[in-house]
Amino acid sequence: MGCIFPGFLLSLFLLGFPVLSSADLGMDKDFEEWKQDFKKEALLYGITEENFQKALASLKYDPEVIKLDADQPEFTRNIWDYIDNATSKRRIKKGRRLLKKHKKLFDSLEEEFGVQREIILSIWAMESDFGRNYGKKNVLRSLATLAYHGKRAEFAKEELLIALSMIQQQKLSPEKLVGSWAGAMGQAQFMPSSYVRYALDYNKDGKKDLWKSLPDILASIANYLSKSGWRRGEHWGVEVKLPKDFDWRLNSSAYELRFFQWKLLGVERVNGKPFENLQRIATLFIPAGRFGPVFLVTHNFNVIKSYNKSSSYAMTVALLSELFGDGETNQIAWPRDDKALSRAQIKEIQLRLAVAGHDPGEADGKIGSKTREAIRTWQLEHDLPGDGYANLELLELLRASYSEKQTENTEDIENTEAVEENRKILETAQ
């Protein structure tokens, strides 16, 4: 028997059946115990015994979800790679066709919510490729697995409780809650909490259907943006060029100036057209450094970020909306010769900035607003253009700026795993 069973497992694997490791089998057993503890919380939350059993009793631990949750690629993606992937000719062509096909629906949505149709369409495209791919995971199983063993377990547990409440109150079928491994549902990719706040029954059929009903899907996206503060009639922003003597201290989210003030400072639109509303407020956004495209973005750009916090996501939605509309995209080329930084390299940048007395946030290998601001202030201190851009050139400058005599903490930085990994990458490259 001891020889037959491994062969049996191998046969299952070759036939395409999933085979759990001994670790996964142990995790599955512990998961059952966790479900019993979670059941007590769910009952206190108001979930009935019957609904809990219907939704979770037969659910199993999903090891693939944990793998996806833990997975971090070694290298980050440059923003232009992200945009290139999302703005294919196929997508643009299909998007324009959908705008024409559903003109009456988009007319109605613009009138009611004040959100431009191209923005609604762009988010739909980004979230599920116009409904073609919104995930195949059982959302309850994903959230339960993440609540049990994920990096943000408490968040997942709260979303799971909300999902159970949705099922109970709206009489939804648990198996129909399908979406991503992270628990985002349907073509709009709403988390359960967002579904409760923003999902709409726009076709008045008694259901808020983010899986099959196009009116409900698009109206829910528009409602999300509207309730997040979208300003009717306001564009997301424009591409601009900076004067040669530009004061780089103004490149900060702290500086919100009206378009006429930016104009007085010598900032102009790249296409030569005048700013449309001189009284509107905008901030500079320089996603790829001073040699790449530069934008003035308005309040509505930040509303797009409320849907997804990534600046790359918001920029892609914005540029995709332009391509769906008049077809215009950024005119200044992206600095495509810049290589993507590894997470180890970004961590090293963050650690060196912290030693220099700046606050880049957590050294997590991700470029966020705090890291950009820390880069910008460091650049200004060293009489460099404060574009806040992280690349290999910046890393080399940071390394060259500090000797062992200048700071006692440098030795600590030199011994970090991130720097050691980065040295290996550089040696390989050479």
Q: Model confidence over 268-312: pLDDT tens digits?
A: 999 999 999 999 999 999 999 999 999 999 999 999 999 999 999
3-state secondary structure of 299: helix
Confidence of residue 266 (pLDDT cuts 50, 70, 90): very high
Range from 173-177, 213-217, 322-326, 413-417 carrying the lowest mean pLDDT:
413-417
| Token pair 């390394």: residue | 399
Q: Residues 380-390, buried b or exposed e (16+ Cβ, 10 A)? A: beeeebbbbbb
Q: Domain of 363: which CATH number?
A: 1.10.101
Residue 382 predicted with pLDDT over 90: yes
CATH number of the domain to which 35 belongs: 1.10.8.350
8 Å CB contact between 202 and 215: yes
Q: What is the DSSP letter of 125?
A: H
Q: Is residue 366 part of a domain?
A: yes
Cβ neighbours of residue 304 closer than 8 Å, sequence gap 6 or more? 119, 123, 225, 236, 313, 314, 317, 318
Is residue 365 situated within a structural domain? yes
Q: For residue 159, tell me if it sits in a domain.
A: yes
C-alpha 74/C-alpha 345 separation (Å) is 10
Is residue 118 one of the residues assigned to a domain? Answer: no
Q: Is residue 342 helix, strand or coil?
A: strand
Domain-terminating residue out of 150, 169, 184: 184
Question: Does any domain span residue 337?
Answer: no
Residues facing residue 295 across a β-bridge: 239, 285
Distance from chain centroid for Cα 200: 23
Q: Which domain holds residue 40?
A: 23-61+135-184
Q: What is the pLDDT of residue 417?
A: 56
241 belongs to a structural domain: no
Q: Which helix (H) or strand (E) holds 284?
A: strand 281-285
Residue 378 lies in a domain: yes
Would you say the pTM of this structure is higher than 0.75?
yes
Q: How many CB atoms lie within 10 A of CB 420?
A: 12
Residue 107 lies in a domain: no
Does residue 131 carry a pLDDT above 50? yes
Looking at residue 181, the DSSP 8-state letter turns out to be T
Task: Please tell me the total count of domains within the chain.
Answer: 2
H or E element that contains 285: strand 281-285
If we measure between CA atoms, which residue out of 335, 45, 11, 282 comes closest to residue 167? 45
Amino acid at 128: S
Residue 292: partners with Cβ closer than 8 Å, 6 or more residues away: 286, 332, 333, 334, 335
